[in-house]
Amino acid sequence: MDTVIEQLKEVLEEDQVLVNEPMCRHTTFRIGGPADIFIIPKTTEDIAHVCSIAKKEKLPLFVLGNGSNLLVADQGMDGIVLQIYKNFSGIEVSGNELTIQAGTLLSTAAKAAQTEELTGFEFAGGIPGTFGGAVVMNAGAYGGEMVQVLKEVDVLTPEGEVKTIPAQDLELGYRTSNILKNGYVVLSGTIALEKGDPEQIKALMDKYSAARRTKQPLELPSAGSTFKRPEGYFAGKLIQDAGLRGYQVGGARVSDKHCGFVVNQDHATAADVMQLIGDVQRIVKEKFDVVLEPEVKRVGRF
């Protein structure tokens, strides 16, 4: 591992290469042990160098945004974590299109669209993730999804080529795409919106923001919605009807405000969260014969 660190420091600045970096500092759950190597790129060239070294050394490579929708193991993560976040963000506007770098927060992008009086991206204003992560997972809320607005993305391929891919070729579905399967790293993307009434855009964003504050446990660390929506049901309602509101394992708890969220109530561990998720799945299956599938992605040394 020392030789890998040396290679990385030859092409990156000292403060871009962190060793044994606690992942609890980089996830919205505030949970997770150390990553062997944690990289903070600033340019496409940085990203390409890191991917090339990881491939050559046969090291696991995990691309991280702002760490939402993620549960990292207490024992940490092997290999390299590549954080494409604030150092790799920016927005360019051209007519009714926004080209957005992968590390840009969705809230920032939605605000930029509002400033340009463009409608169609209001749904993304409160999603706690980056643009790149939203593309990978086809993120959505309040009836809107990335697939509805995404025009194309620029990706780095496993061969080190920067390639532009039309949205229709990404196999965007419910919280899925083919990006990870193909080994792509999202660098940026373009969304196409429509001119709208600025007052209506603001009113809709305010409405969604108020709904999140009222209904979601934003005051506690979480990874967002814990379970995918089962067909014909709502996960939170099933969990509530199963009598699991406030159910707690260690420091992890089913939110009292919204049962679809597991929150870090008091120094929760990943093991606490995993046991709680398993308990909820088992009890909901017993009571309603519905299988809840986790939406939160589990990574690391479980």
Q: DSSP of 144-176, one letter per residue?
A: EEGGGTEEEEEEE-TTS-EEEEEGGGS--BTTB
The number of C-alpha atoms within 13 Å of 88 and in the hemisphere containing its C-beta is 30
Catalytic center residues: 175, 225, 295
β-pair type (70-72, 297-299): parallel
Q: Determine how β-strand 261-264 pairs with β-strand 222-225.
A: antiparallel
Report the distance separating Cα 68 and Cα 52, nearest Å: 26
Give me the residues paired with residue 190 across strands.
99, 152
| Distance set, CA 36 to CA 4, 6, 47, 76 (Å) | 11, 14, 17, 8
CA angle 145/149/154 to nearest 5° reads 105
- Cα separation, 258 vs 256, whole angstroms: 6
For 94, residues 6+ apart whose C-beta sits below 8 A from its C-beta are: none
* Phi (first) and psi of residue 34, to 5 degrees: -75, 145
- CB-CB contact of 187 with 65 (8 Å): no
